[in-house]
Amino acid sequence: MHIFFFLSNRKPSFLINEDGRGYAFSQSLRFQNFNSYDKNMLDSLGASMDYEIDNNYLSFKKIIAEIDKIFNQNMLEFLESIKKITN
């Protein structure tokens, strides 16, 4: 997913959900939901963008901290297990 790439590289990004995959990803990181089928989505997205800009992207800092936490708790251990298998 492009959004995970941008967020893991510390780039604020907004996800517009087209289906359940986007919604599930948004929920897993406690990300604000913008559903493509919502008739007020553009207004909500614009308001959220204004809020983030005015507040120095505070919500994204929390999301990035969650990504780092998941990486450090789960992914590092997984990578170490692969390293042990291949050695």
Which DSSP string do the residues of 16-60 spell out, in sequence order?
EE-SHHHHHHHHHTTPPPEETT-TTHHHHHHHHHHHHHHTTTHHH
Q: Residue 49's domain spans which residues?
A: 2-86
Q: Which residues contact 49 (CB under 8 A, 6 or more apart)?
A: 14
The number of domains in the chain is 1
Please state, in angstroms and rounded to a whole number, the distance separating the CA atoms of residues 24 and 35. 12
| Whole-number pLDDT of residue 8 | 75
Tokens standing for residue 11? 């780039």
Task: Average the pLDDT over 72-80 and give the result.
Answer: 85
Which neighbouring-strand residues pair with 34?
16
Name the more confident of 57 and 8: 57
